[in-house]
Amino acid sequence: MKKAFTWQIWFVLFLAGVSYAIIYSIPYIKYVFYDAMAAATGGNNTQLGLAMSIYGAGNLVSILIGGFVVDKFNYKTCILLSLVGTAALCVWLAIAPSINNVYVIWALMIITTLFVFDPAIFKITRMIVPEEQVSRSVGYFTMFQSIGYMLVNFLGLYIYDLTVEASGDIAQGFCNVIWLYGAMLVVCAVFCFIMFRKVRDVHVTSTGENAFNWENIKKVLRNPALWMMTVIGICIYTTSLTVSYFTPYFTSVLGVTITMAGVLGLLKQYGGRFFTPIFGELAHKSKFVSRLVIFGLSCILVMLILVLVLPAGTPPWILIAISLLMGAFSTMFMNLSLALPTEGGIPRGFTGVALGIYSAIAYAPDMYQHALFGHWLDKYGNAGYTRMFIYDVVFTVVGIVAAALLYRLAKKRAASGAADADGE
């Protein structure tokens, strides 16, 4: 029988989603307030890009190690420390917004936003609900991320506009936005501190398969489901990054206006997260997340092939539909994959290790894919898009195969568990 979430669980998932959106809006703030950040810090394009390179370079190792730390220690404390630490960095940046401070702060944010926060915030979606409810938990957590991003962006823009209208100082507008983000993180930390005491983890002990020792760690690392899940993640994320190139593709190749392309970009960025709860519920009813992932990747494959064969002059509504669906499916199933450790048989006590490895490898395309695609576009012009989409088709097929293998493994585990129950 499906047990409904309590209001406390709903609230914790909401806090987790909003906290995720706020904390990651800070290192990527130049995407929204680029000119204001440059004015406030005195940084040029190269220097602001270097700050992001510093941050990106710390992604792989920090999250990989952080997953082990999260499982060894209290993951809820890791979340609280990350929120407070990032809020403190916001105060520093708002008071002294120089480019040299940006370098140091962005390096420190590797610790406060990536190191333990990333695996810990994903871990909570599994730990506070029964195993059969994890896909639902992940779905609603993802939707709350979207609400958080909307909240952060609109409030930030509102505060910025008020400041600039009153003083004409865009640098001060940037600093006020940073103050706002820091204050929001403090509020989230306070509510998390209160609610984490009210919502306890479900069915977790520090003994048996959940005991944190080297033998159990080796069992997790030898679990083929972990690596199938990781392959699925890197394949979906590869497609997700390519979706960001749809805007110039629509204008350069298909002749869409810049305004329409901008609308499509917004749909791709925010559309998918709102629909994730639907697939979370479907995954819950089907009992196999991997089966839904096969469906999602198959839909992405079909859309990639459609994009490859669409002629110039294609009706805008077709482009809108494909853009929204590609963005939605890549976002939905990237996040829904966070529920795969459950059917892969990975112990709950090692969720941080599994998700740390998953995140470190799945998000690795950030380090090379932009440069690769940029090279193709520079060298081949519009023909570079064809290479990009064929590249995606290959990765999508690999992801479908990995999801099918994981589904087969999960069915075997479920059948084995049912047989053991009957034997008892």
Residue 1 has pLDDT above 70, yes or no: no
Instruction: Indicate the range of 44-53, 90-99, 171-180, 410-419 predicted with least confidence.
Output: 410-419
Q: What is the 3-state secondary structure (H, E, C) of 81-92?
A: HHHHHHHHHHHH
CA 304 to chain centre: 22
Mean pLDDT of 173-177: 95
Mean of the per-residue pLDDT values of the chain: 85
Identify which of 346, 338, 351, 337 has the alpha carbon closest to the alpha carbon of residue 76.
351
Calpha distance 404→401 (Å, rounded): 5
State residue 372's pLDDT score. Answer: 86
Residue pair 15/151 in contact (Cβ under 8 Å)? The answer is no
Instruction: Indicate the range of 12-26, 72-86, 259-273, 299-313 predicted with least confidence.
Output: 259-273
Q: Which two tokens stand for residue 71?
A: 């499982």
* C-alpha pair distances (Å), 419 with each of 343, 344, 405, 415: 17, 18, 21, 6
Taking the CA atoms of 38, 156, 137 and 116 in sequence, report the sign of the dihedral they define.
positive
> Domain coordinates of the chain in residue numbers?
7-198, 211-414
State residue 164's pLDDT score. Answer: 92
Helix or strand (DSSP H, E) at 251: helix 246-252
Higher local confidence (pLDDT), 257 or 104: 104
Query: Fold for domain 7-198?
Result: Growth Hormone; Chain: A; (1.20.1250)
Percent over 70 (pLDDT), the chain: 87
Calpha distance 172→157 (Å, rounded): 13
Q: Which amino acid is at 195?
A: M
Calpha distance 26→22 (Å, rounded): 7
Identify which of 276, 418, 412, 420 has the alpha carbon closest to the alpha carbon of residue 344.
412
| pLDDT single digits (tens) 361-389 | 888 887 788 778 878 888 888 788 889 88
| pLDDT single digits (tens) 249-300 | 666 666 655 445 545 555 566 556 677 777 777 877 777 889 999 999 999 9
Angle at 140 between CA 194 and CA 265, to 5 degrees: 120
State residue 144's pLDDT score. Answer: 93
Residue 400 has pLDDT above 80, yes or no: yes
Secondary structure letter of residue 202 according to DSSP: S
| pLDDT single digits (tens) 117-132 | 999 999 999 899 988 8
Exposed e or buried b for every residue in 261-297, given b needs 16+ CB within 10 A? beebbebbbbbbbbbbbebbebbbeeebbbbbbbbbb
| pLDDT single digits (tens) 401-415 | 999 999 999 888 877
Query: Does 211-414 carry CATH code 1.20.1250.20?
Result: yes
Instruction: Indicate the range of 82-96, 132-146, 147-161, 364-378 predicted with least confidence.
Output: 364-378
Identify which of 88, 100, 104 has the alpha carbon closest to the alpha carbon of residue 179.
88
Calpha distance 385→383 (Å, rounded): 5
Q: What is the pTM of this model?
A: 0.81
Identify which of 55, 117, 62 has the alpha carbon closest to the alpha carbon of residue 84.
117
Identify which of 63, 69, 77 has the alpha carbon closest to the alpha carbon of residue 111.
63
* C-alpha pair distances (Å), 159 with each of 128, 154, 173, 218: 35, 9, 7, 50
Angle at 21 between CA 18 and CA 25, to 5 degrees: 145
Instruction: Supply φ then ψ for residue 111, to 5 degrees.
Output: -80, -45
CA 411 to chain centre: 27
Calpha distance 138→123 (Å, rounded): 10
State residue 258's pLDDT score. Answer: 46
Q: Is 7-198's fold the same as 211-414's?
A: yes
Q: How confident is the model at residue 334 (pLDDT cuts 50, 70, 90)?
A: confident
Percent over 90 (pLDDT), the chain: 41
| pLDDT single digits (tens) 180-220 | 999 999 999 999 999 999 998 886 665 566 666 677 788 88
